[in-house]
Each structure stands twice: as structure tokens, then as C-alpha cells.
Amino acid sequence: MMNPFWSMSSSAVRKKPDNEEKIVAGDQKISPPRSSSAKKQLPTIPKNAVPITKPIAPAPTAVSTNGTHASYGPFYLEYSLLAEFTLVVKQKLPGVYVQPSYRSALMWFGVIFMRHGLYQDGVFKFTVYIPDNYPDGECPRLVFDIPVFHPLVDPISGELDVKRAFAKWRYEKDVQLFKSKVVDSVKLCNSHLFDQPKIEDPYAIIFSPWNPALHDEARETMLAHKVRV
């Protein structure tokens, strides 16, 4: 069967007759008849002439803010963050639970259950903010929902200073005062345990009072899984 597109294209091409009129600069001139044996020839190139070539500039490549190609930048970013999250899960840090946000891979919700030391019985919720240009940017920001009394936690914003360790401060200078501040901080955070999250997100960590009809079954499932492991 003949291809309709091929038949249309072949029939649409019309060979120009030798005596057809040719329009040049607004005037009509009749082209001289061509010889059947005549062929178009290019002028000869001088022997000492150097060919002039124009270098072709490469097309600009779109690059995202994190240094990757724009077409796969978001996928690379999410894959890298997923790898980081997998490492956190594999470390099995005691009392630390982290959940990526539903709305953005650059925001994680977390909670710390303190089981020993001065902060024992404390439950501290926090949010991790990862910079847009990860992994080439600054350190992620960790902000507690309720400011925890600690020399590396800002008492107003609740942000943890992750860029430095203890420099000159030593809690041994006033142990009793430090302990009392820690106890107050634990009580304050626990008193706000059932508050609604500051960020509206389906994956935000939320606590509710113990409801046997709702929580007993989940507790038994968790304990049974722990025994099997």
C-alpha cells in the first residue's frame, strides 16, 4: 500500500521548467535555457587560502542550585536525602525517631525520648530544615518546638547550634543551677506534649493522651514484633 504522505510529497514537488520566468530585484527576466549537460560548479579555492571556520559554541547546560543537571536535579536531591534517611534508620539511635515531611524532602520531623541522665523522662520534638542547595550548602538547622535548656540551644528560637561544640562553658561551675534548669526544661516540654504541631503537615509527629481502645492493640503489635526480632 502506498504511503499517503509519500505520495503527497512526491506529487507536490514540481520540476521547474527551463524557460520559467525568474524575478530579480522587482524586475521580470526570462532565464536563458539551460543545457541538459550543464552543471553548477563552485569557484576554485586559491592555493594559499586558509579556510575560515567559526567555532560552534556549546549549548548552555541548565544547572540547578545544587550543582546537578536541572533535568534530574530534583530526583538526585530526593534520592540523596532518602539515602541519608536510610542511614539514620540503620543506626538505630536509641530514643530518636525521625519522619520526613509529606510536603518537602528538605524538612524532617523528629522526637527525642531521654531515658538517662539529667534530661531523663524528657520528650523533645524538633524539626530539621535542610538547605535548598544540599549537599553543597550549610549545615541543616535543627529547631526544637519548645526551647530546651542547653548551652547549644537558643533560649528564644529553640535552634540547636550544630556548627560548634562546647568551647569555654562548663556546667561543673554551677551544677545545682544547671540541674534545676534542666528539670524545668523537661517539665515545660512535657506540658506541651499534646499541643498541635506548629507546622501543618500530615506527617508531623503528634501525641495524644493514652486511649486503651485505640492504643492497646498497637502496643501489643509492637511488643510482639520486638519479641520476634
Tell me what pLDDT residue 73 has.
Answer: 67
- Lookup: cell for 180: 534545676
Beta partners for residue 21, in sequence order: 30
Q: How confident is the model over 106-153, as pLDDT tens digits?
A: 999 999 999 988 899 999 999 999 988 887 777 888 999 999 999 889
Q: What string of DSSP letters covers 195-224?
A: SPPSS--TTS-------HHHHHHHHHHHHH
Tell me what pLDDT residue 169 has.
Answer: 52
H helices present in the chain, as ranges = 4-12, 73-91, 175-191, 212-228
Amino acid at 94: P
Q: What angle do CA 112, 116, 117 make, to 5 degrees?
A: 105
Tell me the C-alpha to C-alpha distance, in Å, between residue 86 and each of 68, 73, 130, 205, 211.
22, 20, 16, 19, 31
Q: How confident is the model over 60-72, as pLDDT tens digits?
A: 545 555 454 444 5
Q: How confident is the model over 67-112, as pLDDT tens digits?
A: 544 445 677 788 888 888 888 888 888 999 999 998 888 999 999 9
Q: What residue ranges define each of the domains in the chain, with the CATH number in brackets?
A: 73-228 (3.10.110.10)
- Find where cell 530579480 sits: 24
Collapsed DSSP state (helix, strand, coil) of residue 185? helix
Beta partners for residue 100, in sequence order: 108
Cα(114)–Cα(122) distance, integer angstroms: 5
Cα(100)–Cα(44) distance, integer angstroms: 71
